[in-house]
Structure 1
Amino acid sequence: MSSTFSGISTALSSLRAQRQGLDVAGQNIANVNTAGYSRQRTEMTSVEGVSDVPTIWAKQDPVGSGVNVGDITRIRDELLEGRIRTEHGHNAYLSGQNEVYDNIQTVFKEPSDTGLQERLSTFWSDWQDLSNTPGDNAVRTKVLQQGGAVATALNDAHTQLDTIWSSSRVAATSQINEINSAVTEIASLNKGIMQAKVGGLPANELADRRDGLVLKLADLAGATATLRDTGAVDVSLFGSTLVSGSSSRSLTLGGAATMADQAAGNPASVSFTDNGQPAIVTSGELGSSLEALNKVVPKYAKSLDDVATKLISTVNDIHSAGYNKSGWAGGPFFSGEDARTVAVAITDTDDVAASSTSDGRLDGGNADALGDLAVSGTGPDVTYRQLVADLGVTAKSATLKAETQSTITADLDSTHEATSGVSLDEEMSNLLQYQRAYEAAAKLMNTIDSTLNTLINNTGR
């Protein structure tokens, strides 16, 4: 049979529960602008009036005994968060690729008045001018100067591509360091969360910090996570474990340190520090950096070398078949073998082989043949235009993909915010609800107190 004082116990449990609800609502409101904070909810459960322990001749009051706060839960959607991590990895990768292609496009600056195409056109035009006045030293000087301008443009483009490659490797190193720091902190937070769960202590804020770091790993390397019953999360990188409970593994960047090393067959690579096994990274910022290091930048550096090689071979073949001002056979006009090393090999204007005969008549036929390379179907201009066209199409595709993925990611982030973020309107409603419940519980306690006072002090007089 229930005690006469059980109502006070019931009212007291309600006061405690409603006050905790007020505290939770206040915590939510305080963190409405805190990045990564998940809205919390007070889970209340009724206390049963029937005892779990059977007794003889005992009769229990059918009315319950109040309320308990079962837990303070974070409002999360694990399936949504798993998709968000995946899409964030794709978004970071595509954004990185778009940036790389933008940087490469600035190297070639096409179409423009200062790009390589314009310099090549001027170079061929100068040869045509020389064919009309093969004995004019001023025009010969102009041919040498414009040839130097073409070589310098190729040199500069190669240097800029090399700089982009080096910047990508610096970025990859920084991303590796960020990953290693994040996995160490996640393991530490996992340990704290597991200990708190065993001890019945709150760990929601720790879990928010940890989930923020997991999302950061998704951005950096496309990592995925699995929540365990212990409260910890295991983090994986394309099937290989990065974090398991309170243990973590680190990554190391190896392979080529320069673009020349990469071209020699030593690609940049990522491996696990503990056993040296390769780590597969095809998503996130690091995946984009590795793509830039091993494929994108080397591809256009190779294409630029093809332009330089075509220029050197075609010009030198025709120039060597002509004759200079003294009637001697012309030698190579360009030296070097690629975009990095190409240079004008002639310093004396008399050595420019403008003539097609060796009889000293300076007919300009060879200069005319060199000028005709401007419209050749197999000349360096065609090779260069193919490079620029390929870059333009690929860069445009990268931009469209990045924009589409950015929209998808933003939409998912908005959905997540609607699910786990703090709504001030909702919290104000909760505050009012808890306040009224608290006031009612207090009124209940006063009423019971007044009733007991009448029973104890006034009955029997």
Structure 2
Amino acid sequence: MSTFSGLETAKRAIATQQSALYTTGHNIANANTLGYSRQTIDFQATNAFPTASMNSPVIAGQVGTGVEVGSIQRYRDSFLDSQYRQQSTDLGYWSSQATGLHRMEEVLNEPSDYGLSNVLNQFWSSLGDLATNPDDNAARRVVLERGQAVADTFNYLDDQLNVNKKNIGTQINNTEVEVNSLLNQINDLNSQIAKMEASGYLPNDLYDQRDMLVDDLSEHVNIKVSYTSSGGLSPASAQGKVTIELLDDQNKSMAFLVNGSVDRVNQIKVNMDDTQSYVTNIEVGRMNEQGTFVSEKQFTMEEFTSKGSLLGHIYNFGYTEDATATEVEVKGAYPEMISELNLLAYEFANAFNEVHSQGWNLEDIKNGEKGEEINFFDLDSISDPTNAAKNIKLSSDINADRIAAALPGEDGIAYAGNGDNALLLADVKDMELTFGSQESSVMDYYQGMIGKMGVQTSEAVRLGSNSAMVLESIQLNRSSVSSVSLDEEMVNLIQFQQAFNAASRNMTAVDEMLDTIINGMGLVGR
């Protein structure tokens, strides 16, 4: 055994405790860094002397040779990471749906003094007043104004719903871009990590960056994360290259997004129809050297069930499960609400026109005979049930005197002061009309629309809140494992500092011993 082995042992101790101090300082410096996982030194004893062999010297036992840094590792729990990402996916899905539905509620503004329900009620009320005073010009003008308010409200609601729908379409495009950007960044980090690991290093800070990106990605789509060895001189504790698979709602693999085994990254592409009104399908593929997307897998919206904010936005925006069908059926919260609103405007306006055309107006009464039928709402504006809410307006022929409030008596003549047809016009609100396959009154159908929206919003908010609470709990558990505790680091700082001082004192003691042996022995008698 070397005479100077004591110095070597002390030197190793000093270097190791110094590394521990540096690591502790790194933890303290990053105490508030988002996504940072605290790191720790893995101390391990160096090989003792003598080593086990046939020619080992016979001594009482092995002599320790000191300490060294085995590795610098992160505190991380992969099980908590997996739980966090699953809940993040659920939260992203329900939050995106809840946000879109909340905006729909804000537009419809029910119940309130400014919603369509109240505007219609004021219209019915004005018709009741007209029935009481059919020859009152003021009452007639109020009906006209209330009718204009009904048309304006339908126009406004259709416009704002379509504006919100367009904004959700933009969010879908932005989410697509963000997902693909995250995938590219993860793939780039894979390359950097593989090079470091293959050289024998543990790139802990790069692991943290990659985990943050994977966490962000899990908010948008449902994913499975696995790891592949980087090879080379990779340490046993090396995490390796990440592989990310796209999963459906049953957690079955749909496609690879990042394939660490072959260093390959794919992209997600959301396709819409020519008018950008609904989503037709979703593709997974890669960008070639020319920057062109090459599709490898294509999913209809019936097949694409990967939860996350992307799917939540699509379910609000609108989609078709079969884009090749002769008659495409568009589903989704906004398309369905806009379609129902248009159908309501169409059936209401046509029913009102039909009743109005049977009555006599003041000009008819003055002439003593029924003249040309005059519609209250413009027929051309409500001819298409898919655009009635957008286009509905009062007829250009209608004015206060031409509101048909009267009905002819037994002699076939209507007289001033008769308001029977105004009563029939007011009763249109309770008239059974056909809305698709449903028989309902105007007000009941509209209340059903609002009720359905309320249930959808309530469900999205409730499930989103549940996911948020679970996610918060998991995050607290992750933080208890991975986050930096300044109190703990201060204790470590003192511990490693004292160990460093002790190792330095040990080196001094060995140095003094050697000085005595070399320079102080053998001087007797000189």
Which one of the candidate residues 348, 373, 381 is aligned to 2:399? 348
More helix by share: 1
Q: For residues 351 and 343 of structure 1, what CA distance do their matches in structure 2 show? A: 16
Letter in structure 2 aligned against 1:6 = S
For 1:66-215, list aligned pairs within 5 A: 66-215=66-215
Q: For residues 141 and 179 of structure 1, what CA distance do their matches in structure 2 show? A: 57
Does the CA contact (< 8 Å) of 2:226 and 2:243 recur in 1? Answer: yes
Does the CA contact (< 8 Å) of 1:306 and 1:383 recur in 2? Answer: no
Does the CA contact (< 8 Å) of 1:269 and 1:290 recur in 2? Answer: no
Deviation per CA, 1:115-151: give whole Å up to 9, x if none: 1111111111121222223333433332222111101
Deviation per CA, 1:291-312: give whole Å up to 9, x if none: 1112111121122123212312
Given the two structures, how large is their TM-score scaled by the length of structure 2?
Answer: 0.82
Deviation per CA, 1:335-383: give whole Å up to 9, x if none: 3132112222243334322222252325221111111234446421111
Letter in structure 2 aligned against 1:274 = V
- Residues 178 and 51 (structure 1 numbering): CA distance in 2 closer, same or farther, change over 3 Å? farther
Answer yes or no: is 1:275 the counterpart of 2:299: no
- Residues 282 and 134 (structure 1 numbering): CA distance in 2 closer, same or farther, change over 3 Å? farther
Give the deviation of 1:51 after TM superposition. Answer: 5.5
Q: For residues 257 and 20 of structure 1, what CA distance do their matches in structure 2 show? A: 61
Q: How many residues align?
A: 455
Query: Which residue in the other structure is 2:338 paired with?
Result: 301
Q: For residues 57 and 14 of structure 1, what CA distance do their matches in structure 2 show? A: 26
Other structure's SS at 1:72 match: strand
- Residues 154 and 306 (structure 1 numbering): CA distance in 2 closer, same or farther, change over 3 Å? same
Give the deviation of 1:243 after TM superposition. Answer: 0.9
Other structure's SS at 1:157 match: helix
Q: For residues 396 and 269 of structure 1, what CA distance do their matches in structure 2 show? A: 28
Unaligned stretches of 5+ residues in structure 2: 231-239, 248-252, 285-292, 319-331, 365-369, 433-439
Q: Percent identity among equivalent residues?
A: 29
Query: Which residue in the other structure is 1:30 paired with?
Result: 29
Given the two structures, how large is their TM-score scaled by the length of structure 1?
Answer: 0.93
Answer yes or no: is 1:252 the counterpart of 2:269: yes
Letter in structure 1 aligned against 2:341 = L
Which one of the candidate residues 391, 398, 413 is aligned to 1:359? 413
Give the deviation of 1:315 after TM superposition. Answer: 1.0
Moved more, 382-391 or 56-65: 56-65
Unaligned stretches of 5+ residues in structure 1: none
Does the CA contact (< 8 Å) of 2:39 and 2:75 recur in 1? Answer: yes
Does the CA contact (< 8 Å) of 2:407 and 2:420 recur in 1? Answer: yes
Deviation per CA, 1:372-424: give whole Å up to 9, x if none: 23444642111111112222232223222222221111111111111101010
Does the CA contact (< 8 Å) of 1:85 and 1:224 recur in 2? Answer: no
Q: For residues 423 and 460 of structure 2, what CA distance do their matches in structure 1 show? A: 42
Deviation per CA, 1:425-455: give whole Å up to 9, x if none: 1111111111111111111111111111111
Q: For residues 199 and 453 of structure 1, what CA distance do their matches in structure 2 show? A: 42
